[in-house]
Structure 1
Amino acid sequence: MSADITIRKAEADHAREVEACARAAYEKFVPLIGREPAPMVADFARQIARGIVEIAVDPAGRVAGFMVRYPRGAHLHIENLAIHPAFQGQGLGTRLLRRAEDTARELGLTTLELYTNAKMSEALAFYPARGFVEIDRRWEAGFDRVYFRKDLPDRTS
């Protein structure tokens, strides 16, 4: 259950678990894309050292999901959001996105931006259902990417 899962900053000793979570979450897309998507080959140890990875941890201490996010210009860029298949469908991705919204506001940013692969139909439905709007499509770094943005309403409105 998502309520039993805590979200916190990843530490150096989480790098292997984050990588395993990414591999499990993205492996089904390899045949569709024709190669491993970028999130499967990220340098998670370096990202964790930079302090830009948050993990969702179940009561047994397992990494159920994670998010890589950082400020980029005037928005918070979500580079990676992945949920281990064993934990999908429990609202954990939505919780991580809410965490990103809180982080953006704390940093004085008013938008979230991210991209996903055009072959990842689940993601293409997931983000618009949570208020994201498609803003661009382009071929980049050997991938067909779809860019999304979400404007964050002021908390007082």
Structure 2
Amino acid sequence: MTLRPAVAADVESIRQLVQRAFLPYVARIGREPAPMTVDYHLVVAQRRCWVVEDDGRISGMVQIARRAGHLEVETIAVAPDAQGRGIGARLLGFAEEQARAAGLPQIRLYTNEAMTENLAYYPRRGFQEVGRAEQDGYRRVFFARAVPPG
């Protein structure tokens, strides 16, 4: 597996990966989750997206943004047939490395409250729930994790 910055030629594969990863949540939420509506051409052009490539195909992606005082994981997705292989943990580890390199003390992310798998997954990765709110028409659960010194 190779973790690398996404390039323009990856955009369609990223979009398809996100569609497959988030499709099961459409019925639960009642509409497409926000990551399914992102302009990945723009995100890739802004150099905010990295991918995990495995045997020539993209099996995971993470979209990050530097914010005041923290790094935000805006989207993280793993292909359904590649889940359980540590790709998500690797992508979160990469986000931590990026936060540390930027001198940011915290990583933040959010998920939809209907994505119950994520509500269990992020605490296992050291994230703490820090709030819940309706935002942009979605019921979101917010998480944060301190970035340990390197």
Do the structures match in fold with TM over 0.5? yes
- What is the DSSP-based 3-state SS (H/G/I as helix, E as strand, rest coil) of the residue aligned with 2:109? strand
Runs of 4+ in 1 over 6 A off after TM superposition: none
AA aligned opposite 2:122: Y
- Is 1:104 matched with 2:99? yes
Which position in structure 2 is the counterpart of 1:79? 74
Superposed counterparts of 1:1-157, under 5 Å: 5-59=1-55, 61-155=56-150
- The 1-side partners of 2:54 and 2:117 are apart by 23
TM-score norm. by structure 2 comes to 0.99
- The 2-side partners of 1:149 and 1:72 are apart by 13
Query: Matched residue pairs, number?
Result: 150
Identity of aligned residues (%): 39
Where do 5+ consecutive residues of structure 1 fail to align?
none
Q: CA-to-partner distance for each residue in 1:24-69, whole Å, 9 max, x for gaps?
A: 000000000000000011100100000000000002x111010000
TM-score norm. by structure 1 comes to 0.94
- The 2-side partners of 1:46 and 1:81 are apart by 16
